[in-house]
């Protein structure tokens, strides 16, 4: 069951745990500490209020916890999110928690602090698995102590909705590829859309052929599972303030095709639909947060297998917009299905397009496992994406798309080939995608190969799918300004 979050002026008498965030200055200053905490006792226990420190102090009838926040001038929503996640893991065996926000609202506004605490607490306790016996977390109620203002309560409600969207994305990414086949993925999205009030359209293989989605059909040729192409639409009340298009790569499993991956390289490839999962999670939240813009989502779904008629290196595919791609490496398949989806999205003439994809290992080499690569065109729109990244803590770093690199994907037999040379793989992949976004449409490409999947628990992320991109996309939709 989801954790119940509420606000209160004071900690409930029945709360099993009362936690206080302490800055270094609060611990070392002359002012009094919250009830149940003593600076001398904390010092003897080795607590210095550095970020992510958690010290439990037994008290009569309950536990009092000191949570380190570091220096006051460094406290921000990202730090609160991490501290809340650390606290949640430390007290996950208790049933109720009261968390005092009063000490941080001087440096982080109440709504922002509340949002970060809800996200950090709830997401850190996410679990997925098929074990026959499960260790159930007992934490069921969390009270945010301090302000009960309407803005704080609204922030809590919105954060709970976003958390559910992130959890949906994580569930989809963590589901094994043999269980979450393209048809089953499409059906789950269809059910979500109907429950949420979104408009949904699902194209089966026959419809995909009629739509001339040659990239998607080419990748699916080696699979016994038929592909799907799903479109979702959120329409606000009143006149929409522009249209934002979201495109997500939906490879439910990637063996590499005939350019087969190694055994180790294939182990986590159930996560290759992390882009589509993030889009689905974000779309599920929009009816609750009600942004003023229209949002359309385009999700190509298939798996990349080695069947008898699989696409061969050297084959040429014709994409929806008529351009051709020579396939030299069947493991560079994400750009092929995204090419179709970007073409379809462009035909609707949105005010901007953003795509998310677990696209290249090269981006992980460049930026590591926790930062997504951001590429595209139109500085104003890219700045909006960066703003959403800064507000949500889902980090991105802008990479260039230099025009002279385009020759690296020139093909002697087609408009382009699907791989470049040995260097700049994230950039050449981005350049290929740009060929399928209509001129004049602002476009952002997020390569989330690194942050979409985690090897272990870290801050609010848990091992497996992280749901990276859900919070960013929701924030972007709520703040989107066409032409801005």
DSSP string of 42-67, one letter each residue: HHHTT----TT-EEEEEETTEEEEEE
What do you get for the CA distance between the two ends of the chain, in Å? 41
Provide the 10 A C-beta neighbour count for residue 3: 17
Instruction: For residue 134, give both structure tokens.
Output: 């499960």
Q: Catalytic: 335?
A: yes
> How far is it, in rounded angstroms, from Cα 177 to Cα 181?
6
Catalytic residue from among 335, 391, 395, 417: 335
Q: Is 31 exposed, middle or buried (0-12, 13-18, 19+ CB in 10 A)?
A: exposed
Instruction: For residue 386, give both structure tokens.
Output: 């960066």
> By the 8 A CB rule, do 104 and 76 touch?
no
Alpha helices, H only, 267-326: 274-289
Beginning with the edge strand found earlier in the chain, give each strand of the sheet holding 324-326 in spatial order. Answer: 316-318, 324-326, 416-417
Closest CA to 391 of 168, 109, 184, 106: 109
Catalytic residue from among 141, 190, 261, 398: 261
> By the 8 A CB rule, do 338 and 214 touch?
no
Q: Catalytic: 349?
A: no
Structure letter (DSSP) for residue 406: G
Contacts of 143 (CB under 8 A, 6+ apart): 5, 6, 7, 8, 11, 12, 15, 96, 97, 98, 99
Active site residues: 261, 335
């Amino acid at each position: 069951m989801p954790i119940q979050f509420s606000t209160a002026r004071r900690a409930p008498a029945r709360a099993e745990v009362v936690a206080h965030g302490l800055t270094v200055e609060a611990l070392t200053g002359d002012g009094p500490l919250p009830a149940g905490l003593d600076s001398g006792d904390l010092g003897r226990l080795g607590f210095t209020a550095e970020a992510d420190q958690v010290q439990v102090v037994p008290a009569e009838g309950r536990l009092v916890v000191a949570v380190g926040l570091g220096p006051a001038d460094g406290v921000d929503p990202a730090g609160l999110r991490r501290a809340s996640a650390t606290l949640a893991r430390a007290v996950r065996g208790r049933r109720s928690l009261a968390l005092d926000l009063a000490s941080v609202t001087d440096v982080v506004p109440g709504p922002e602090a509340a949002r970060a605490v809800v996200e950090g607490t709830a997401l850190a306790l996410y679990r997925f698995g098929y074990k026959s016996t499960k260790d159930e977390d007992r934490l069921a109620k969390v009270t945010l102590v301090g302000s009960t203002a309407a803005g704080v309560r609204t922030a809590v409600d919105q954060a709970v909705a976003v958390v559910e969207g992130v959890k949906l994305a994580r569930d989809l990414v963590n589901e094994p590829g043999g269980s979450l086949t393209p048809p089953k993925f499409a059906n789950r999205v269809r059910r979500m859309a109907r429950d949420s009030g979104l408009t949904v359209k699902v194209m089966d293989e026959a419809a995909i052929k009629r739509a001339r989605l040659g990239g998607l059909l080419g990748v699916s040729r080696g699979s016994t599972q038929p592909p799907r192409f799903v479109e979702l639409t959120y329409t606000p009340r009143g006149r929409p303030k522009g249209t934002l298009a979201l495109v997500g790569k939906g490879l439910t499993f990637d063996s590499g095709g005939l350019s087969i991956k190694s055994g180790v390289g294939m182990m986590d490839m159930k996560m290759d639909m992390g882009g589509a999962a993030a889009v689905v999670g974000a779309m599920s939240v929009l009816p609750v947060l009600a942004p003023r813009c229209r949002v359309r989502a385009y999700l190509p779904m298939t798996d990349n297998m080695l069947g008898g008629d699989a696409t061969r290196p050297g084959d040429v595919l014709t994409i929806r917009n008529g351009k051709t791609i020579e396939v030299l490496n069947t493991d560079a398949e994400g750009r092929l299905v995204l090419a179709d989806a970007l073409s379809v999205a462009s035909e609707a003439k949105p005010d901007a397009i953003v795509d998310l994809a677990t696209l290249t290992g090269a981006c992980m080499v460049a930026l590591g496992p926790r930062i997504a690569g951001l590429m595209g065109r139109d500085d104003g729109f890219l700045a909006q994406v960066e703003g959403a990244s800064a507000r949500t803590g889902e980090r991105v770093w802008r990479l260039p798309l230099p025009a002279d690199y385009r020759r690296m994907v020139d093909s002697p037999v087609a408009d382009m080939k699907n791989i470049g040379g040995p260097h700049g793989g994230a950039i050449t992949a981005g350049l290929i995608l740009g060929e399928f976004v209509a001129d004049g449409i602002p476009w952002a490409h997020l390569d989330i190969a690194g942050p979409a999947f985690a090897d272990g628990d870290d801050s609010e992320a848990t091992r497996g799918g992280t749901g990276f991109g859900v919070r960013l996309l929701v924030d972007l939709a709520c703040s989107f300004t066409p032409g801005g």
